[in-house]
Structure formats: structure tokens, C-alpha cells
Homo-oligomer: A and B are copies of this chain.
């Protein structure tokens, strides 16, 4: 199937069948990757409704013009950029209406272009919680968050993005509208196409609306930082926390001392919670129902932990809790300032995390002398395992070692049955990784489904699956 560029004649055609407002966006903002690693060309169209989206897709399908869905543009794997051919970039920015809020049933229906922070605020307005939370929540839009099945901080308790969704509305490759919006908790009528669309990164259809599940707000929260003797102790502490606190553990983050050292080195302020920088620490949050002290629950856990915890701070005020979280949330900025040689978003089975952390440094040391900042969502087995130059050297000094390091880290994660993309997706950056590490039967099924639902191959070509 030969794709066609969105040339002048095609643009004229689109302008004849869509309102002028659909072409008002400045293309510049849509045609570069957030870290500047790609830039491309494209015709940017911003439909204001699912019907206009259907018109766009119908036209592209008819002319075999590729389509790149563009949501908040915050993705880190190049899912939103095409280099080869001039595509139609369809922006969700004008589909930004909260369609309905049903507080009694903990459901909200939104256009896919609503920004995550606005969804969180609409839930808070009715005393509920929308638990998806991540660094880019001020600009990431729901459509892209679902298309990439985004993760973030609260996955241990609430699950990934897909767990927050009851239904989706999708425009298919040929412009057909699937009305899969649903406020139902239980519906066993046919294949689960909702979850097929979620995480397909715009290669099977464009999510234009979603019914989202809200949660009760925890009546009270508390935060603690515990110094642990080892990652193994941290895993045992996680299991103990489950026994004490059930599903009320909202976050459970592992932090290595390198994170603190980088904050220091990069001149980023933080309140030191301990006299000495701890080699390994855990930052955890609980959110409990009415009637029980969240601080008290963390104190009881601390007492029960015995040798698993060497020292601990339980925040006595919301300011102290913010100070602790500030450390975790500033670590990525510290990393940016130091400049990594290679960053990795891997996951392994939780009980394999200690062995992974034990083995990886030796493998990397064989490649060269590096510093490692290992931190992340231990509660999900998801580590951001990032490799940095020694002090005084830079990222550029190790240009030719980047791929070797990446392959070594990915090989090791894979050897534990792990994933080379825990929460960021495949996009265009990791297509080769998926081919290397993916199960062949799965890849063949993916290709068959792609061909069945997008026979002309116009949907985000080159993302997830190699363009044919």
C-alpha cells in the first residue's frame, strides 16, 4: 500500500470539507519532539468534534494519506512525529470538553483533548479523586495518556491508565465512529476492544472520548521516608506494608544515594531528611479511610519492620510531606542537568529487582566508567535505570557507547522476563527493541490486527510496528 503525502491539493480538499477553525493552529508546536530529538513536516488539523474527526479520517483514508494523532505532545518515544512523509497531524486540542460528571457513580465522561490536570480538578470539584498522576499532567491530554497507557506515581494502588477507563469513543482508520463510551462497571458483550485501543499508540484508531472511573478521596494521607539496608530489604518492606496497610499504599519509591548526590552536584535545593545521605531509601505514601490515623499506621509499620528499616522520618505536617516528595520529584531535573548517557524505563518482577540492581553495575563497568542513578516505582517493579558520565565528563564523550549500554541494560531486564518499556511505550524510538525482545507470536498477532483494522496503513505509520 503506497501512502501519499498531504500535499497542497489534499490540504485544499480538507479546507473545503472542514471549518476554517480546524486549521488555525500554528504547526510549529506540533512538529518537534519535546527534547528536540526529532522534527518533521505535516499538515496540522484540529477537529472540534468526533464528527469532524470522522471527516478528516475519511478523507485521509480515501486518499491514503498518513495520519499522526497528536495529543499533549509529551510522549518520550517519538510516537507523535513522522519524518519520512508529510502526514496529517490531527490535534486533540480543540476537543477539550468535560462531557459529564456522575459523582454518585464515580464516573466522568470527557473529550480526549482534556488536559489531565483539568480532569483531576473536575474530580476534586465533586469530592472525588482521578488518580492518574505524572510529571507532565499540566499539558498531557487524556487521549494520548490512554493511547500510551501512561503510568506514573500511583500505579501501585490504582493501576495504569487503562485501569481508570470504563469506555472509549474511537474514530477508526476509515472514519467510522465506534461509540464505546460506557458508564458500566460490568459488561461482557464481546471482545475487549477498549483495552486494545488503549496502549495502541494511535496505530489502530484515534481515541476521541473516554468514560473515566473516579475514586473516593482518601480521608487522610501520610508520607514516610525509610532508610533500608538494601533493595532486598525494600522488597520485604513492600510486602510487609501490604500485610499491614492492604491496598492503601499509594506510592512506594526506591531512591539510591546517587539521586541525592546529583541534587547536590546540580545545585538543586532540598531538605535533607537524615544527617547522612542514605545509600538506599524508600519514600512511601498511604491514604486511609476515615477513622484511622495515617501517621499512626506508618509508625506501626516502622515498629514492625525491625531490621528492614535502619532509620525513618514520618512527616508530621503537610509541609514536611511536601519536602520529602520534593526530593523524589526533583531527581529527574537533577538527572537532566547532569546529562545521562543512556536512560532506561525497565520493569522486572518485583522480587527480581534486588538481583537486577546487584548485577547491572558489573555489566556496565565492563563497558566503561559510569555513574548510575537507579530510582523508581519499586511497588510496580519499574526502575528508571539511568547511566551517567563520571564527573568532569559529558554525555558527548560516550556517544558511541550509548547503544551498547542500552542493549546491556535491556538484555539484563529481558533475562528476568522484564520489559524494556514499562511505562513510556514503543513509539518510533523502540520499534527495534520490540522486534528484538517481543514474543514472535505476539508480534504476528499485532501485525494481523493492524492489517485488519487499518488495511491501508495510514494510522501513525512507523509507530509500534515498522511501516511496511
Residues of B within 8 A of A177 (CB): 441
**Least distance between A455 CB and chain B CB atoms (Å):** 9
Residues of B within 8 A of A423 (CB): 186, 188
| CB-based nearest B residue for A444 | B176
Contact B182 A191 (CB under 8 A): no
Asked if A243 is at the interface of the complex by the 8 Å CB criterion, the answer is yes
Q: Is the interface of A mostly helix, strand, loop or mixed?
A: mixed
Number of interface residues of A (CB under 8 A): 105
How far is B184's CA from A235's CA once the two chains are assembled, in angstroms?
15
Q: Tell me which residues from 151 to 192 in chain A have a Cβ below 8 Å from any Cβ of chain B.
A: 151, 155-156, 159-160, 162-163, 172, 176-192
Q: Mark A367-380, 1 if CB is under 8 A from B, else 0.
A: 00000000001011
Asked if A360 is at the interface of the complex by the 8 Å CB criterion, the answer is no
| CB < 8 Å neighbour of A178 from B200, B421, B439 | B439
Contact A184 B349 (CB under 8 A): yes
Q: Which of A30-38, A102-110, A271-279 faces chain B?
A: A102-110
Q: Which of A83-91, A213-221, A261-269 faces chain B?
A: A213-221
Residues of B within 8 A of A180 (CB): 439, 442
Residues of B within 8 A of A103 (CB): 239
How far is B192's CA from A204's CA once the two chains are assembled, in angstroms?
12
Tell whether A104 pairs with B239 under 8 Å between CB atoms, given A441-B178, A453-B448.
yes
Q: Mark A437-467, 1 if CB is under 8 A from B, else 0.
A: 1110111111011011100000000001000
| CB < 8 Å neighbour of A248 from B246, B351, B437 | B246
Residues of B within 8 A of A172 (CB): 441, 445
Contact B192 A199 (CB under 8 A): yes
Tell whether A445 pairs with B193 under 8 Å between CB atoms, given A289-B297, A417-B184.
yes
| CB < 8 Å neighbour of A186 from B155, B297, B453 | B155
Tell whether A186 pairs with B381 under 8 Å between CB atoms, given A179-B439, A198-B192, A216-B242.
yes
How far is B109's CA from A417's CA once the two chains are assembled, in angstroms?
13
How far is B198's CA from A449's CA once the two chains are assembled, in angstroms?
16
Residues of B within 8 A of A392 (CB): none
Tell whether A417 pairs with B182 under 8 Å between CB atoms, given A193-B446, A426-B189.
yes
Asked if A434 is at the interface of the complex by the 8 Å CB criterion, the answer is yes
| CB < 8 Å neighbour of A190 from B242, B243, B246, B426 | B426
Asked if A420 is at the interface of the complex by the 8 Å CB criterion, the answer is yes
Contact B193 A199 (CB under 8 A): no
Contact B149 A188 (CB under 8 A): yes
